[in-house]
Amino acid sequence: MSEQTSPTATAKDRVVLAYSGGLDTSVAIGWIGEQTGAEVIAVAVDVGQGGEDLEVIRQRALDCGAVEAYVADAREEFATEYCMPALRANALYQGRYPLVSALSRPVIVKHLVRAARQFGATTVSHGCTGKGNDQVRFEVGITSLAPDLRCIAPVRDLALTRDVAIDYATKHDLPIETTKHNPFSVDQNVWGRAVETGFLEDIWNGPTKDVYTYTDDPTFPPAADEVVITFQAGVPVALDGVPVTPLQAIAELNRRAGAQGVGRIDIVEDRLVGIKSREVYEAPGAIALITAHAELENVTVEREQARFKRTVDQRWAELVYDGQWFSPLKRSLDVFIDDTQRYVSGDVRLLLHGGRAVVTGRRSETSLYDFNLATYDTGDSYDQSNAKGFIEIYGMTTKLSAARDARFGVGEAAALAGDQA
């Protein structure tokens, strides 16, 4: 991670603004100043959303009236400290969504709080509306790290609508495009891409080709692509034998799995605020990695631990979706998940083709799979005579309960006995 800041200055009343460089947050700089009388520090955090250079964004913030500008390249940080914990938790909200936007908010929050401390701000501002999840993620995250800071949202709290933003930018001759209109609301980062609004709000409408950027149409895929992912303690460390960082692993699988149309998700999800929302996601690298990681866990994690971990994984995903990254429960679940990953090391071979990532091979020096126990051929080391006694003991409580039901004419056993009579 690298950071650049303009020279530090002190002021009593300052607001740190989560700054994207776009129309709304550029206008928010002056708008917040007019509405609150405070100076604004713009904070731009690169988590892989693409677009302009950070230095260009920094200068635009200053040109739009920010008294300071803090920019950070957090792509490596995001991949290592946020995406990898999600991978180790096989995190899929509602069993499908790999937390693309939800994962990025805590790292942005951390930099917002860091900037607030550095520049002596008392308030943090974000650009969220009052209908979405992100307002919760930002504000709960901020107050979890800095309970003394106040939060405001110009769109929600200060009546900064898009029409007002365009008029304001034109009137003040701000260096920002005011006429370009994207029919969708898009949020993207290293882990994936989220698309909503526009005609997608009618849940009967199918996504059109222009919705997708990270993935190619899986209907006409290129030749199948086979990749071997090497994991160490639940984290990818090599692709096809070539060492990679977490960021490199995600980026390369975004490219290769994306070319095969892997990772397209169309879902009506339950927002934290109580609204059902139609979302379209692209997460080729995330889906490929989670598929491989989950299979390696099947090979290396003990049965009862694995069963319980599935419950933990689901709760972990719900907490992160709900903006509770810094919560005590999330921290405790992290400890459990970390312990389960001790032996999750080895190779998984994936076949990427036609929108699917399919496991075709797995191997691990820490595997719990014993060929001699599993085989039905010569060399079988499993003593089948043990099964009879095991079944007697395992089924004893159910057998006794069924016998009692039969005596009192209750349950299926009694009904079947009556049929026989």
Query: Which residues make beta-bridge pairs with 17?
Result: 42, 125
25: annotated binding-site residue?
Answer: yes
68: annotated binding-site residue?
Answer: no
Name the active-site residue from 88, 105, 264, 356. Answer: 105
**Which two structure tokens, joined as six digits, stand for 222?**
């290129």
Task: Tell me the one-letter amino acid at 142.
Answer: I
270: annotated binding-site residue?
Answer: no
185: annotated binding-site residue?
Answer: yes
Active site residue 217: no
Name the active-site residue from 14, 24, 88, 347. Answer: 24
- Angstrom distances, CA of residue 114 to CA of 72, 145, 147, 253, 359: 11, 10, 13, 32, 42
48: annotated binding-site residue?
Answer: no
**Which two structure tokens, joined as six digits, stand for 250?**
């995600």
143: annotated binding-site residue?
Answer: no
370: annotated binding-site residue?
Answer: no
**Which two structure tokens, joined as six digits, stand for 204?**
């009967």
22: annotated binding-site residue?
Answer: yes
170: annotated binding-site residue?
Answer: no
Distance separating the N- and C-terminal Cα atoms of the chain: 78
23: annotated binding-site residue?
Answer: yes
Name the active-site residue from 46, 134, 313, 347. Answer: 134
Supply the Cα-derived Rg of the chain in whole angstroms: 26
Structural contact between residues 313 and 91, judged by C-beta atoms closer than 8 angstroms: yes
Active site residue 24: yes
CA–CA distance, 33 with 68 (Å, rounded to integer): 13
134: annotated binding-site residue?
Answer: yes
Task: Tell me the one-letter amino acid at 258.
Answer: G
283: annotated binding-site residue?
Answer: no
- The DSSP bridge pattern shows strands 39-46 and 68-73 to be parallel
CA–CA distance, 280 with 181 (Å, rounded to integer): 19
CA–CA distance, 245 with 76 (Å, rounded to integer): 9
CA dihedral (407, 412, 415, 419) positive or negative: negative
269: annotated binding-site residue?
Answer: yes
Name the active-site residue from 96, 144, 156, 185. Answer: 185
CA–CA distance, 417 with 421 (Å, rounded to integer): 6
21: annotated binding-site residue?
Answer: yes
125: annotated binding-site residue?
Answer: no
- Angstrom distances, CA of residue 183 to CA of 140, 208, 271, 320, 351: 30, 12, 21, 28, 35
133: annotated binding-site residue?
Answer: yes
Structural contact between residues 323 and 140, judged by C-beta atoms closer than 8 angstroms: yes
Binding residues: 18-26, 97, 127, 129, 133-134, 137, 185, 269, 281
- Indicate which residues carry an active-site annotation: 24, 105, 134, 185
Binding residues for L-aspartate: 129, 133-134
Binding residues for ATP: 18-26, 127
